[in-house]
Amino acid sequence: MDWSKPIIEAVINISTARDQKVLDHIDECLSEIKNVKALHTDIGWDADRTVLTLLGEVKGVFEAVVLLYNIAQRWIDMNKYEGNHPAIGSIDVVPFVPVKNIDASTLKEKVILFSQEISQQYDLPIVFYGDLASQTANKNLSFIRKGGFNQLNDRLANQNLQVDTPTASHNDKMGVSCWTVRNFMIAYNVNIDTSDVDIAKGIAQEIRKERKTNEMLADVKILGWATPNLSCCQISTNIYDLDAATMVDLYLLVTDYAHKYKVRVSGSELIGMAPIKGISKDCTFDNISSKIEALRLDDKGPFEINEKILEFRIGLNSYLF
């Protein structure tokens, strides 16, 4: 990869994880894209969601995105979606991240133009969220996906949800895609040793209430859900400000609340990838192994540091963020 050129990341959430033929086709197609590296693929059976982390030059990453929409149009029907994730589109969420030699404002301009191309090509509504949102309500991804795919048509019809691509307003099969440009985000789940989803939801609700007094949680999204395939429940979090909250911070916080509910935290799960900075505020190349062990990231399967930690995966000997 030519690090002298503008480099971006795209973390593409695809609403399928149970059809191996589709997953194999995705791998095959991505291998043919130049100047793009598929850093990681995270397959979540219970969520019926696959998260692809792509890194490369802008043109190459956009080309890979087109490929994935081609596959989704042909193979993924949201009317058959059965995952526990509140997805509303076959390509559900597409955040673009400026990594090197490109700033957020420049990337936003490119992404907005690209979104119009995708929308027209697939007759697909696209909604901007986060820092790219054109409407205040759409800043929050949970508002956009409220009610999931089953309520999507009604929300579009009564304009409770407004899209950012006026040439397309409805797609029965592909749903809606949610796009943004943001800084690096970590999807991190803490495993609760119980099958009672009400306990997980209760813990998540209490942590959300703590936002009023705990600034660390201001940019953390929190859900409690059941993951039967992992034989546990999870507190699912998205960490948007790595300077404020880290994986260790949330692990310790969830552990405290779990004790109140008389359940045990058995470990945790990193969805996709994380930079060293996201593990803990004092994490370094020297102590990262002990931090990973403390988080018990191998609770439900092996944790490969060279695959899951961004600096190791890219082959850097310095911190990326």
| Distance in angstroms (rounded) separating the CA atoms of residues 174 and 213 | 40
Instruction: Mark whether 143 and 194 lie in a shared domain.
Output: no
Quick one: which of 118, 103, 101 has its CA closest to 177? 118
Does the residue 209 lie in any domain? yes
Does the residue 53 lie in any domain? yes
The yes-or-no verdict on residue 282 having pLDDT over 90 is yes
Instruction: Mark whether 219 and 137 lie in a shared domain.
Output: no
Percent of the chain with pLDDT over 70: 100
The yes-or-no verdict on residue 243 having pLDDT over 80 is yes
pLDDT computed for residue 319 by the predictor: 87
* Mean pLDDT within 109-126: 97
Instruction: Mark whether 201 and 76 lie in a shared domain.
Output: no
Instruction: Mark whether 168 and 62 lie in a shared domain.
Output: yes
* Mean pLDDT within 43-51: 91
How many structural domains is the chain composed of?
A: 2
- The number of helix segments (H) and strand segments (E) in the chain equals 10, 10
pLDDT computed for residue 76 by the predictor: 96
pLDDT computed for residue 186 by the predictor: 96
Quick one: which of 202, 205, 231, 275 has its CA closest to 53? 275
- pLDDT bin (cut points 50, 70, 90) of residue 272 is confident
End of a domain among 132, 165, 181? 181
Please state, as a whole number, how many other Cβ atoms lie within 10 Å of the Cβ of residue 112: 17
Instruction: Mark whether 166 and 196 lie in a shared domain.
Output: no
Does the residue 264 lie in any domain? yes
Does the residue 320 lie in any domain? no
Does the residue 223 lie in any domain? yes
* Mean pLDDT within 288-295: 98
* Comparison of pLDDT for 24 and 32, the residue scoring more: 24
* Mean pLDDT within 85-90: 92
The phi and psi torsions of 21 (rounded to 5 degrees) equal -65, -40
Instruction: Mark whether 107 and 219 lie in a shared domain.
Output: no
Q: How far are the Cα atoms of 115, 163, 282, 292 from residue 289, in angstroms, in the given order? A: 40, 44, 13, 5
Instruction: Mark whether 148 and 41 lie in a shared domain.
Output: yes
The yes-or-no verdict on residue 99 having pLDDT over 80 is yes
pLDDT computed for residue 219 by the predictor: 92
pLDDT computed for residue 46 by the predictor: 87
Tokens 């979540």 correspond to 44
The yes-or-no verdict on residue 306 having pLDDT over 90 is yes
The yes-or-no verdict on residue 318 having pLDDT over 90 is no
The yes-or-no verdict on residue 3 having pLDDT over 80 is no
CATH number for the domain spanning 238: value is 3.30.70.670
Does the residue 319 lie in any domain? no
End of a domain among 123, 146, 181? 181
SS3 content of the chain, % helix, strand, coil (to 5): 40, 25, 35
CATH number for the domain spanning 112: value is 3.30.990.10
Residue 271: which domain range?
186-314
Tokens standing for residue 31: 């291998």
Please state, as a whole number, how many other Cβ atoms lie within 10 Å of the Cβ of residue 109: 11
Instruction: Mark whether 139 and 173 lie in a shared domain.
Output: yes
Asked whether 63 and 56 are in contact (CB, 8 A), the reply is no
Instruction: Mark whether 233 and 145 lie in a shared domain.
Output: no
Does the residue 214 lie in any domain? yes
| Distance in angstroms (rounded) separating the CA atoms of residues 200 and 206 | 10
pLDDT computed for residue 1 by the predictor: 74
Does the residue 321 lie in any domain? no
The strand order across the sheet containing 265-271 reads: 220-227, 232-239, 186-192, 265-271
pLDDT computed for residue 245 by the predictor: 98
Averaged pLDDT score across all residues of the chain: 94
Give the pLDDT confidence of 171-223 residue by residue, as tens digits: 999 999 999 999 999 999 999 999 999 999 999 999 999 999 999 999 999 99
Question: Angle, nearest 10°, between helix axes 247-260 and 288-295?
Answer: 30
Quick one: which of 80, 176, 164 has its CA closest to 122? 176
pLDDT computed for residue 28 by the predictor: 87
Instruction: Mark whether 129 and 223 lie in a shared domain.
Output: no
Instruction: Mark whether 38 and 171 lie in a shared domain.
Output: yes
Tokens standing for residue 101: 């030699």
Alpha helix segments (H runs only) across the chain: 20-30, 58-75, 104-122, 141-144, 152-157, 197-209, 247-260, 288-295, 305-308, 310-314
Instruction: Mark whether 157 and 216 lie in a shared domain.
Output: no
The phi and psi torsions of 110 (rounded to 5 degrees) equal -65, -40
Give the pLDDT confidence of 151-174 residue by residue, as tens digits: 999 999 998 999 999 888 789 999
End of a domain among 158, 181, 204? 181
